[in-house]
Chains A and B, each alone.
Chain A
Amino acid sequence: MKIIVCVKQVPDTSGKVAVNPDGTLNRASMAAITNPDDLNAVEAALTLKEQTGAEVVIVSMGPPPAESMLREVMARGADRAVLVSAREFGGSDTYATSQILAAAINKIGVEDEDIVLCGRQAIDGDTAQVGPQIAEKLHLPQVSYAAEITKEGDTITVKRMLEDGYMTIKVKTPCLITCIKELNAPRYMSVGGIYECYSKPYEIFDYNTLKDDSLIDPTTIGLKGSPTNIFKSFTPPQKGVGMMLEGADKATCDKLAGILAAKHLI
């Protein structure tokens, strides 16, 4: 049994983010991190590995520096890693990205008892579309927003979160599941893991490795082939700085209440 986990390296958008004058992101100014939800997917895979002895394979599409992230994930306990990297793949939207990742997963091989895991959403593109789109391309059933995963034989039971509650869903392997932070608390790298991670199998799939896969349509990959295009990108204006009220006493509060009343807000 295999568990294939899709992991993306992303710029850390939680702190200050620098934007270039042309409205693109100044990626060089930001630290590269492992996408947070993907660490929950990795943790779920490692938990299943402990229960079933499954092999955990990590797949990432991105430029070569993503290797350091893949080594880190192997130091947490994953068994091998594949980096999908080619100039032809750059600038792909989610349709194109999922096509390429699906071809890579195809090459790794999805057998009857296997599971593919993704994070729900990457914090840069923020679309949450890649998981379901990989599932469609691979003709796998999908369950997204997983907050609990249990496996009995070939049946997986997932607690799938909704805004107003949850659904319990049963699905048979092979299947694809997208993970949210409520699922688990990711473990850290172990000292032994760090020691071993450089001797674990690490492969690169480039354009030539994947181009003959039936899932790859050269006219719908990369920047030019992507169905969606960026028409304009821009930064939102800062809302004008408002009024700081002097003091933090009763008079200040009375003044504010007076303003709200005058504006008919209360």
Chain B
Amino acid sequence: MSNYNSAAIEEFKGGVWVFCEQRQGKMMPTSFELISEGRKLADELGEKLYGLLLGHEIEGIAKELGGYGADGVYVCDHPLLANYTTDGYTKVICDVIQEYKPEVMLIGATNIGRDLGPRCAARLHTGLCADCTHLDIDVPKYKDFLRSASTLAPAMIDSIPEDDRNLKMTRPAFGGHLMATIICPRFRPAMATVRPGVMKKNAFDQAKADACEIIKPNFSLTEDDMETQVVEVVKAAKKLVDLIGADVVVSVGRGISKDVEGGIKLAEELAEVLGGVVGGSRATIDSGWLSADHQVGQTGKTVHPKIYVALGISGAIQHKAGMQDSECIIAVNKNDTAPIFEIADYGICGDLFKVTPMLIEAIKAAKAAK
């Protein structure tokens, strides 16, 4: 593709694209979130929205993406794409992008997306914003976002020129202490990886799924392109907790240390009466009390459940980064100056081993009274 020039930005009229990650033929939930968000951006740009799906024998799962807003899906099917490899996926994605020239390319910031995104951006000679949590095209909408989500002075926000049409990609950095909005003004596509669990999924529309166009682009891939060999793919033996999808998360922290088993059992009981799952701070994962899939926070999962309960968690910034957007935060901590209380809607200062059993009974009673 010798005539490809990422700086010829006016040539990138191929619409908004979303890399739709699947594993073992199953769509990753973040693909639906990104298609939903991509729909919003495509509408703001007045462009079409396409999914990009790679794998082997995966055409059957493509049309579902239409139900969340995709106008079409580019399906690249090949036996060598059955498992994710950096080499195979990067080659095919970059070849197809060079041919169809999308203006925007979104990728889920999963362990795979964060391997693939930078490799593709480097090959395509364009910028990549990492692990975004908010995206805008229209400046008035971006200003509304800043008014609610930043401490910038109103005059500063008002002074932003309204004609900017770059994708504005907002992300946390420095462990969540700072937010930065990144643009990529000189090259296309504007690329972003997007944090799973953050963007809201649209309601599924069967008629739109039926109408979704399937496109099969030309590409070439041979054994010679593959420099890494996947020997096996192992799924974690235990069923992993679905923190991201949960309505209620009850998390425990180092505060359970005097009786780890008892503390986890109390959290499980509370989660059960509230209809939720158990999570934990990194301290509980590093101590080996809970497995890594339970971790909430900057280096764990971002959750925004209806109710988040923090039992014996101090509220370090890296923990807050993963849960502060929860609708209702309840914290139990024996130290009344614990930072978690700064963001808790309801705080109880006390010993979690005494408070939690009473809370379980009180909630059972309140539910029975309904």
Q: What does the 1/0 interface line of A130-149 toward B look like (CB < 8 Å)?
A: 11110111000111110000
Nearest B residue to A232 by beta-carbon distance?
B181
Q: Say if the beta carbon of A258 comes within 8 Å of chain B.
A: yes
Among B119, B122, B328, chain A packs the most CB atoms within 10 A around the CB of B122
Contact of B174 among A11, A232, A252 (CB under 8 A): A11
Q: Say if the beta carbon of B182 comes within 8 Å of chain A.
A: yes
- On chain A, the residues within 8 Å of B345 by CB distance are 242-243
Q: Say if the beta carbon of B131 comes within 8 Å of chain A.
A: yes
Q: Say if the beta carbon of B25 comes within 8 Å of chain A.
A: no
Report how far A11 CA is from B184 CA in the complex, Å: 26
Q: Say if the beta carbon of A230 comes within 8 Å of chain B.
A: yes
Size of the A side of the interface (Cβ < 8 Å), in residues, is 81
Report how far A102 CA is from B279 CA in the complex, Å: 40
Expressed in whole angstroms, the minimum distance between the Cβ of B303 and any Cβ of chain A is 14
B274 with A142: CB separation less than 8 A: no
Q: What does the 1/0 interface line of A81-102 toward B look like (CB < 8 Å)?
A: 0000000000001110010000
Contact of A19 among B110, B111, B177, B350 (CB under 8 A): B177
- Give the dominant DSSP class at B's interface: mixed
- On chain B, the residues within 8 Å of A231 by CB distance are 164, 166, 168, 181-183
A229 with B183: CB separation less than 8 A: yes
Q: Say if the beta carbon of B83 comes within 8 Å of chain A.
A: yes
Expressed in whole angstroms, the minimum distance between the Cβ of A170 and any Cβ of chain B is 5
Chain A 95-152 residues near chain B, CB threshold 8 A = 95, 98, 123-133, 135-137, 141-145
Contact of B317 among A17, A95, A145, A167 (CB under 8 A): A17
- The A/B interface has a contact count, at CB < 8 Å, of 274
- On chain B, the residues within 8 Å of A68 by CB distance are none
Q: Say if the beta carbon of B187 comes within 8 Å of chain A.
A: yes
- On chain B, the residues within 8 Å of A191 by CB distance are none
A248 with B349: CB separation less than 8 A: yes
Q: Say if the beta carbon of B324 comes within 8 Å of chain A.
A: yes
Expressed in whole angstroms, the minimum distance between the Cβ of A105 and any Cβ of chain B is 14
Expressed in whole angstroms, the minimum distance between the Cβ of B189 and any Cβ of chain A is 11
Report how far A232 CA is from B180 CA in the complex, Å: 6
Q: What does the 1/0 interface line of B202-241 toward A look like (CB < 8 Å)?
A: 0000000000000000000000000111111111100010
Q: Say if the beta carbon of B76 comes within 8 Å of chain A.
A: no
- On chain A, the residues within 8 Å of B329 by CB distance are 239, 242
B347 with A243: CB separation less than 8 A: yes
